[in-house]
Every structure is written in structure tokens, then in C-alpha cells.
Chains A and B, each alone.
Chain A
């Protein structure tokens, strides 16, 4: 397993947001992380990304337990996060955004040509056909194009696990389809993808496995091919569905 979380707990003061959460994501697969508002999806992602420290539990990468205290620790392990707000600079062009903070230099001079070439190759390898001009400012791009730039920025660095926080939330139908295709291609190229979404249509369109969080606990992880939407909805809303899920708080077995 590329990434393996076991018994992750995280509290903010007296509030336990995550409680003994487990999750595993392997290279080449898309794992969707679903859950209602407040289920702990974002907190879990921030724990993996090094923004929050976990209280207990282990994060293992390639089977070896790792300490992640800082976004740089995560980046060093090949973990990149694309946040919902994308964090792009509107006044910089596509290439400049892709390489921001990790510019290629030739002496003290920026090697813009090399960066542009590498950007073009990366976008090509992701079969991105929607970015016509790599030298246009990001401000002039559509929502789907911006999402594409943000995802390309995350995979440019030999990353191995890409975490996407609601990448399709603000997109229209055609652009959503393009971003989902891009996510699928990432996995097909051997990356692990953790995909957070509210939209079950998107989840079933692209995910291999679906992990449902319920009130800070992992309600269950199901194969997308075996599950139905209504089962996943039950996991999200009540934490259990048939034989899968958390034990009923009242002790009733179905």
C-alpha cells in the first residue's frame, strides 16, 4: 500500500473530530472519500498533508510509518494536495503558476524556456487539450482550465499521491467530465488519487473504492463496482448499510 492510515485520532480541544480512522490508498487507484458536512473529510486530508498533527495513530507510506508535521514533509513523501481554492496566482501565466516556488534556474536567471517545455510535456502526458496558450494569465482561464492547472501543478513534482478536495464542486457538466477524465488518467499512470466529493455521480464515475466517513469514524470502505449509490448514501447518513458499517449505537444487528 502506498498510503496506509491506521487508528488516526484527532481532537480540537474537547471535540474529537477523527476517531480511530483507517484508510488505505494504493498506487494506480482512485479512492473517493465521502461523508456529510462535518464528518471529518477535510480534517483527515489536512492530517495527511501535514497541516494538522494527529493525536494518535500511524501514517505509513510504502509500509513504513512516517511523521508528517509540515506540508514540506508531505511533499517530500510525494503527497500533494489540490485545495478547493486552488491557490493560483491570477496575474501569473500557466507556466509561472506550475513552477511557482520551484522555478528552474540557469545561474541566477529563470530558465523560462525549459519550464515551458516541461510544462507542455506534463500537460501532454496528461492528455490535456484544453490549454491552448501556456503563456496566458490564469485570470483569463475558465474554471475547468484552472482546475486542470492546479492538478498539473500537483503532479509535476514526481508526486505519488494526489489529494483533490472537491475538484468538481464549482464546475459545469462538460468541465466536470474533463476533470474526471483527468483524474482517471492520473490513476492509470500509476499515481494514487484520493478524491473528496459530495457528488455521488462523480464518485461512481471515477472511483475504484469509496470510503465513507460518518461523524469522525470510518463507516466503511466499499468497492465502487459492488456498491450502489443508495448503499453509499446510507453509509454517509447513518454510518451503516446492511452488513457494512459501524455497529448500531443501540446494539441492534440487522
Chain B
């Protein structure tokens, strides 16, 4: 029983306090943030700290890590895992797991490759078929978990095996199918023109600014509690600065031999990741489905009593997860320009789960975000990329990645022990 209620000064709920000085408002905001962090709601902090620490470490150990070429490389290497992780977040929020997401991406990629290369279909057909495969897989898994009541761990473990077999059968007992379609290969292989990158940057930062400012003004007008304008401005400037620096760096020449072939611009896969991030962040934070997803993961009984269509929400989570796995499969196929039975296999699934958890999704449900998948995906990609540059063996890399996953899961478990969630945004 906490004594805070009796000792708290009576405060009007959520009414705008008398406007304090701007400096004091900012300090109050910082203090509120710090107390949240201390109580266990650390949000993106561990992942961001991890990214910075890893970049410093690898930058010192292997200077080529900080080269522009390697930056572009990182996006390409991490994209497929980040896509799958974004889908996994949905399943993790509902307190389930999908162990089949890796091979689901392999099956989707295999179907696309067969359609494109062997049947000569146009690329929209191939991509649509791949995503439809993901939807179908998700529907099947979700129905088995929700309607039949088999634990998701078992259903998706069965899927893990079955989809591995399915990919083998589709690929005719293990042939490697090349992808020649230029559009599909461009997804993970081509870059935007320089001016396109700048235009996209302007649209993104402009849109973000408009959203933030209009939200702030709306809350002030309604007399709801709001952040100090300085904090909103700082956030816009920080995001704008980070994105501008990224676009600037990616627009530099990164070809080893610029006379022969020029290599500049923002990789198309970055745009894809950005678009998916915006889409799923919107779904999670601004739609009724997103709200219900968190409710189902937080307290299923409460969600049922509140009239939430719990079964439909849970099945939809599996559908989104497998569909995003299919997108990850398309990206992986595009990057390799081929599909083989090991696409989506090996450590892809574990890296994806690791990415989601490192970013801040909880294995105990109720917590996670699209941002978590991206940040965690970045951590995983940096570890693999950096250790590869250092010439460490695959064995060491697997071991270290496993340790990082364990560390993230440990932080997750400990933060629950403190009786508090990390907070999901």
C-alpha cells in the first residue's frame, strides 16, 4: 500500500497549470522524464545508448565502420530483420510468440521467385502473391492459436518446421532461383537520386513539424496538459538534424571507384522502412485496433469485459506479423537477387525476436512499438556488421548476439519485477 495518496497535495486533474516560466517548464518536463526512467519506464533509452556505444566501439576498433559506404550497407543488412521484427512486435504485444516468421518470409520469397523467374509473371503479381502468402499463413496460425487454443509457441514451432519443408518443396528440393526482375532487385539494391532524397527529407520533416505543432496547439486550446513549446521544438530540431545528416551522408559518393560507377543517394530500402514505420506507428498509437491490441496484451480479462473483440484482435496480430515477414522475405530476396531454401532461415528469426526485445518490446506482452523494431534492428545489424569488419568468426558473432538478446530479455524481466512497464511509446 503506497502512502502517496494521503501525502499528495491536491491537484486538479490534467488542467493546464498556471503558465510557469519557460525554463521552469522545461526543467519540470525533464524531471518528470527522469522520474519515469527511474521507475522503469526507460522506453528507447537502452537501444539508443547501445547504438551509440556500439558505434563508438566499432568506430575505434575498425575505422572503416564509420565510412559512408558502410552506413548504406547497414541499412541493407538490417532491413529484412527490421521488417520481420516490426511484425513480431504485434504478436509480442498480445503476449504471444511467432517462431515461424523467419521461414514464413522464406516461403513468401520462394513463391515470389517462382512466379517471377519460372512463370515470367510481372512484378506486381509476384509481390502481391508473396504478401498474400503472408496473410494466409498468419490467418492459419492465428486461427489455430485463438480458436483452437493451441499455445502459440507450439503452433509456430510446428510452422517453423512445416514452412521450412514448404520452401524446399516450392524450390524443387533446394535449387537456388535467381531474380532477374529489375523492379524487385531495386528494392534493396538501388538508391534514390540526390534531389529525391532531399525532397523526401523536406516532406518528412515538414510533415512531422506540422503534426507536432498542430497537436501542441490543439492541447493548449483545449486546456489539456501539454509539453513546453521548447521541448516540442527541440524534438523537431533533433529529428530534423538527424535525418538531414543521414541524407547528407548517404548523398555523398561512396563508390570505391567513382570514375567507373557512381554510387550515391538514399537506398530505396530506407524509404520502405520509413514508410512501414510510419504506417505501423499510426496503427498502434492512433487507431482503435492499436489500443485494443495493447489492452489484450495488458489484461485480456479486462479487454473482454470492456467489449473488445479479443479473438479478432489476436488473429489480426498474427496476420500482420506473417505479412510483415513476407515483406522481409521480399527485401531479403531483393538484396540477394535470389531465393534459396535458407532464405529466412538460419538466425533470421532469432535476430528478429532479438531486435524487437532489444528495442523495448516485452516478452510478457502489453508493450512494444514499431520504433522498438527499428532501433533493435539497428543494434543487431551494427553488431553483426561491426564484428564482421573486425574479422570475427561466425561463431563469435552468434555468441555475442545471443548474449545481447539475453541481456535485453533480462532487462525486460527485471523491469517487470519493479512492478512497472517500460512504457510503450
Contact = CB atoms under 8 A, between A and B. Distances in A.
B222 A144 contact: no
B366 A91 contact: yes
Nearest to B282: A109
Contact of A142 (B4, B10, B222): B4
Nearest to B287: A108
Contacts of B13: 119-120, 123-124, 128-129, 131-132, 134
B421 A117 contact: no
Interface in B289-323: 291-292, 294-295, 297-299, 301-303, 305-308
A113 B222 contact: yes
Contacts of A145: 5
A117 B224 CA distance: 7
B233 to A, nearest CB: 20
B308 A101 contact: yes
B5 A134 contact: no
A132 B1 CA distance: 18
B291 A100 contact: yes
Contacts, number: 124
B18 interface: no
Contacts of A105: 288
Contacts of B366: 89-91
Given A140-B39, A142-B4, A91 B421 contact: yes
A144 B303 CA distance: 21
Interface string A112-124: 0100110110011
B218 A113 contact: yes
A172 B307 contact: no
Interface in A115-167: 116-117, 119-120, 123-124, 128-135, 137, 139-140, 142-145
Contact of A72 (B5, B307, B420): B307
Interface residues of A, number: 46
B12 interface: yes
A89 B303 contact: yes
Contact of A110 (B287, B295, B302): B287
Contacts of B180: none
Contact of B302 (A88, A108, A128, A178): A88
A49 B215 CA distance: 40
B419 interface: yes
Interface in B1-16: 1-6, 8, 10-15
Contacts of A109: 286-287
A96 interface: yes
Interface string A68-110: 0001100000000001010111111000100011110100111
29 contacts: A88-B302, A89-B302, A90-B299, A90-B366, A91-B298, A91-B367, A100-B291, A100-B295, A105-B288, A109-B287, A113-B218, A113-B219, A113-B222, A117-B222, A124-B12, A128-B13, A132-B11, A132-B13, A134-B225, A135-B225, A137-B420, A139-B419, A139-B420, A139-B421, A142-B1, A142-B2, A142-B5, A171-B1, A174-B5
Interface of B: 1-6, 8, 10-15, 39, 41, 218-219, 222-225, 286-288, 291-292, 294-295, 297-299, 301-303, 305-308, 366-367, 419-421, 423-424
Q: Return the 3 tightest CB-CB contacts between A and B, nearest first.
A: A101-B306, A89-B298, A91-B298
